Amino acid sequence: MKNPEVIWKARGRRLDVSRRGMVMGILNVTPDSFSDGGRYKDPARALEQARRMIAEGAEIIDVGGESTRPGAAPVGAEEELRRTEPVVAALREEWDGLISIDTTKAAVAEAALQAGADIVNDVTGLRGDEGLAEVCRRHDAGVVVMHMQGEPRTMQADPRYVDVVAEVREFFEERHATLTGLGIKEERLCFDPGIGFGKLLEHNLSLLAELEHLQVEGRPLLVGVSRKSFIGKVLGCEAVEAREWPTVALTAYTRAKGVRVHRVHLVKENVDALRMVEAVEGVMVGK
């Protein structure tokens, strides 16, 4: 069957992504993110950007207080909390959509969930902070489990795989078994191959080419390609602005390959790409 039912649950919400993909808008409240560092570190500015992305069709806002770009300096929990918690709380006050917290730390996730976040997006796939799985379980949070080889500081030094697609798939299978064993319900899980996280250009391209082989236990896939450096490598462009349209092209491509959640900076153009692919595939019901 071309479109089996795909449901993702996050706290009290049930997201039916069987027929429609969703855009997750990136809100980096950091001074040093690779493409927008410093722009939204003031909470009022961050909220303005969130409103803009929501008006353009973002259904999830992903709030992040620590850059994961290669070589980025780690941030303590207290500072990360100080950056993210007020933004999550203020956004929750005025918006009923989905809020995700992009963190590797249990304390930051706990505060964000208490402030009304729905999803925990962890680039370590819940292998970093031992307490994070329990926080996710207790709050019945949606969980994005991302694959990364190594850790952000050194991950691009010398990533190696025998078969990157098989290894990422095995990682998803292992995480699915481990996390459900820890009491996180399967319906909460969403998997992400972690484009650019401990991967060379050829690894990123192989993963994108074979996304259909990464679907595990019917769980939805998320991808984040927005403005990433592998686009610059393919096209020979350094400027991040020159990577927006290639990002849109990849959103269409990855949606056609079955991805359901697309983590991007520029919202409207990527939402339009999803709706066009869904129209062509004849899977769009209603809007």
CA angle 57–59–60, rounded 5-degree value: 130
Using alpha carbons, select from 247, 244, 240 the residue that is nearest to residue 195: 247
Sheet holding 142-146, edge to edge: 189-192, 142-146, 119-122, 98-102, 60-64, 22-28, 261-264, 222-223
287 catalytic? Reply is no
Q: Which of 228, 243, 257, 260 is catalytic?
A: 228
CB of 15 to ligand HH2, least distance (A): 16
How distant is the alpha carbon of residue 273 from its chain centre? 18
> Considering only 67-75, 77-85, 164-172, 241-249, which stretch makes contact with ligand HH2 by CB under 6 A?
67-75
Cβ partners under 8 Å of residue 184, min gap 6? 133, 136, 137, 143
C-alpha 164/C-alpha 150 separation (Å) is: 14
Cβ partners under 8 Å of residue 33, min gap 6? 64, 67, 69
CB of 5 to ligand HH2, least distance (A): 23
* 146 part of the interface to ligand HH2, by CB under 6 A: yes
Q: Which of 17, 29, 34, 111 binds ligand HH2 (CB under 6 A)?
A: 34
CB 6 within 8 A of CB 258: no
Using alpha carbons, select from 38, 22, 45 the residue that is nearest to residue 91: 45
263 catalytic? Reply is yes
Q: Which of 123, 133, 143, 273 binds ligand HH2 (CB under 6 A)?
A: 123
Binding residue count for ligand HH2, defined by CB under 6 A? 21
> Considering only 28-36, 130-138, 168-176, 267-275, which stretch makes contact with ligand HH2 by CB under 6 A?
28-36
- Which of 194, 246 has the CB closer to ligand HH2? 194
90-109 footprint of ligand HH2 as x/- string (CB under 6 A): ------------x-------
C-alpha 135/C-alpha 103 separation (Å) is: 12
* 267 part of the interface to ligand HH2, by CB under 6 A: no
> Considering only 24-32, 41-49, 133-141, 210-218, which stretch makes contact with ligand HH2 by CB under 6 A?
24-32
Residues between 245 and 264 that touch ligand HH2 (CB under 6 A) = 263
Upper half-sphere CA count for residue 35 (Cβ side, 13 Å): 18
Give residues in contact with ligand HH2 (CB under 6 A).
26, 28, 30, 33-35, 64, 67-69, 102, 121, 123, 144, 146, 192, 194-195, 222, 224, 263
Residues with a known catalytic role: 228, 263
